Amino acid sequence: MPKRLIKRFLPHHDKMRQHKHLQIFGTLLHDANLWHLNRHSASGGFAVGLFMAFIPLPFQMVMAAGAAILFRVNLPLSVALVWLTNPITIPPVFFFAYLVGTWVLGSPPETESFKFSLEWLEHGGLNSIWEPLVLGSLICGTLASIIGYSLVLWIWRWRAIEKWKLRRQRRKSSDPTASGRG
């Protein structure tokens, strides 16, 4: 995984430490492991961020930061990946999670009675969908985090192997004893 590419898109750790919503973590933000970018911290950051992106609760960024601190993985990646579910993507993502939940529970989806509004919420509309939504969100979040973790590890390993091969080729081409004369 190209470290420079990831670092280019992530905010600087000093800026993250000053973020008003992350101040609740205090000195825990000074742990150097939260800011390192290596194979394990990046893959763990992806896992935490992708899982938290599927959790249908407010303050996903704060929860992702807390989980990153708990598991000592890359905090900026964890927090940034939560934004996969943003105001534009939330409806299709959580509707898909709801459908997964209804499929697992074996209940038919209630798409006709669903009309997200304040009136719908006041009349208990959330009561009929919360179980499949939460279950589907947990399933989708778990699968996304496992896939993200594995994919980042695999890409990071693949890039390291490619770099080793390239180094070996350069050494062979620059070593006069390797060509058979000697």
Q: Per the structure, how many domains does the chain have?
A: 1
> How many whole angstroms separate alpha carbon 172 and alpha carbon 160?
18
Question: Which comes out higher in pLDDT, residue 162 or 120?
Answer: 162
Report pLDDT digits (tens) over 12-32. Answer: 656 666 666 666 676 677 677
Report pLDDT digits (tens) over 59-113. Answer: 899 899 999 989 999 988 999 999 999 989 998 999 999 999 999 999 888 776 6
Residues of the domain holding 153: 3-179
> How many whole angstroms separate alpha carbon 20 and alpha carbon 149?
28
This prediction has a pTM of 0.76
CA atoms lying within 13 Å on the CB side of residue 124: 2
